[in-house]
A and B are shown apart, each in its own frame.
Chain A
Amino acid sequence: MAKQYKTLGEEIWKNRVETISAELFIFTYGSLVTQLVKDYEDYDQVNAHLEKMGYNIGVRLIEDFLARSGWGRCTDFRETMEVVSKIGFKMFLNITPTVTHWSADSKACSLILDENPLNDFVELPPEAQHKLWYSNALCGVLRGALEMVQMQVEAKFTSCVLRGDDISEIQVKFVRHLQEEVPDPDD
């Protein structure tokens, strides 16, 4: 099964995705983060805002993902995370994070980002080292996109190579299935 996602992800990346210069993308994201740092002067707020921006991206990005991939509904959270990694991340960032550290109840796991294009050329200043989650927008994207397909999740960075950790890891926790709109019987 896992292989099938990978093949589809690669097929979409090759044939159905328009690419732009990675540098332009990296600089755009970089200037956005540094502007937030200047404006808020507080890294917690910067992290929160990056997450919020990511969320707003995610709720739109999901339509592009579904339209291009033609992917239907996943059967469970495990499948969802495989699709997120092998097709979603592949389509938009050309990376496929490793899905691992599954909890016993299959409701939480980690995405290990072996590479992260956002990080290229970035070196955090010492005062930001223990506070800023530079790529925090990614967590928001995950939350926003999955919410649109009726899955509420929590996503957060637990380690990041920019902070001197060995790996970059996003922890994703499944919270609940959101009920689809039920028509009001009194309507």
Chain B
Amino acid sequence: MILSLYIVNKAGGLIYQRDFNEGLNRMSSNDYLILAGTFHSIHAITSRISPTGHSDGLELLEAETFKLHCFQTVTGTKFLLVTDPVHHNVESALKRIYDMYSDYVMKNPFYTPEMPIRLELFDTHLLRAIRTL
């Protein structure tokens, strides 16, 4: 089950956050921003401490009640997907999400890159895709 999605821009700013299930614990919007920034920093550290050559950094954070998957595009945008601990097929889900981001966010001429995403088309398509996954 996919629980929520975060999109973090290349400077570590949270530009999108959405839950896909009712009744999930919410934090304050400020806490979400802090979480994104902190994750961004940790990701940067993990990509530098690899003892065996180049690393793309943190990809999976595992906890008892959830897993947090991180996919960083070559351009530096991060997609963080929170799922329940047994969810699989995350890779294809992230790929679908990246497709939709490139279509409904980046191709929208009125969207300013790196800024918060408030786009209805993206929301609708994302929701539809998540339901069918």
A63–B73 contact, CB under 8 A?
Answer: yes
Q: Is the interface of A mostly helix, strand, loop or mixed?
A: loop
Chain A residues with CB below 8 A from B85, complex form: none
Assembly CA distance A166 to B12 (angstroms): 48
Q: A59-B113, A63-B102, A67-B102 are in contact. Are A180 and B76 (CB under 8 A)?
A: yes
Assembly CA distance A68 to B99 (angstroms): 7
Contact flags A61-100 to B (C-beta < 8 A → 1, else 0): 0111011101111000000000000000000000000000
B residues 64-109 in Cβ contact with A at 8 Å? 73-77, 95, 98-99, 101-103, 106-107
B107–A182 contact, CB under 8 A?
Answer: no
CB distance from A62 to the nearest CB of B (A): 6
Chain B residues with CB below 8 A from A73, complex form: 74
A66–B73 contact, CB under 8 A?
Answer: yes
Interface residues on B, range: 20 to 34
A64–B113 contact, CB under 8 A?
Answer: no
B75–A149 contact, CB under 8 A?
Answer: yes
Chain B residues with CB below 8 A from A68, complex form: 99, 102
A126 contacts B by Cβ under 8 Å: no
Contact flags A149-187 to B (C-beta < 8 A → 1, else 0): 110000000000000000000000000000011110001
Instruction: Please name the residue on chain B nearest to A65 by beta carbon.
Output: B102
B106–A63 contact, CB under 8 A?
Answer: yes
A131 contacts B by Cβ under 8 Å: no
A residues 15-36 in Cβ contact with B at 8 Å? none
Assembly CA distance A187 to B42 (angstroms): 13
B12–A64 contact, CB under 8 A?
Answer: no
B12–A183 contact, CB under 8 A?
Answer: yes
A14 contacts B by Cβ under 8 Å: no
B99–A67 contact, CB under 8 A?
Answer: yes
Chain A residues with CB below 8 A from B98, complex form: 63, 66-67
CB distance from B4 to the nearest CB of A (A): 21
Instruction: Please name the residue on chain B nearest to A64 by beta carbon.
Output: B102
Q: A68-B99, A149-B75 are in contact. Are A182 and B106 (CB under 8 A)?
A: no
Chain B residues with CB below 8 A from A62, complex form: 75
Assembly CA distance A72 to B98 (angstroms): 14
B75–A63 contact, CB under 8 A?
Answer: yes
A72–B40 contact, CB under 8 A?
Answer: no
A60–B74 contact, CB under 8 A?
Answer: no
- CB < 8 Å: which of A64, A70, A72, A180 contacts B106? A64
B residues 27-85 in Cβ contact with A at 8 Å? 40-41, 44, 73-77
CB distance from B64 to the nearest CB of A (A): 29
Contact flags B102-121 to A (C-beta < 8 A → 1, else 0): 11001100000100000000
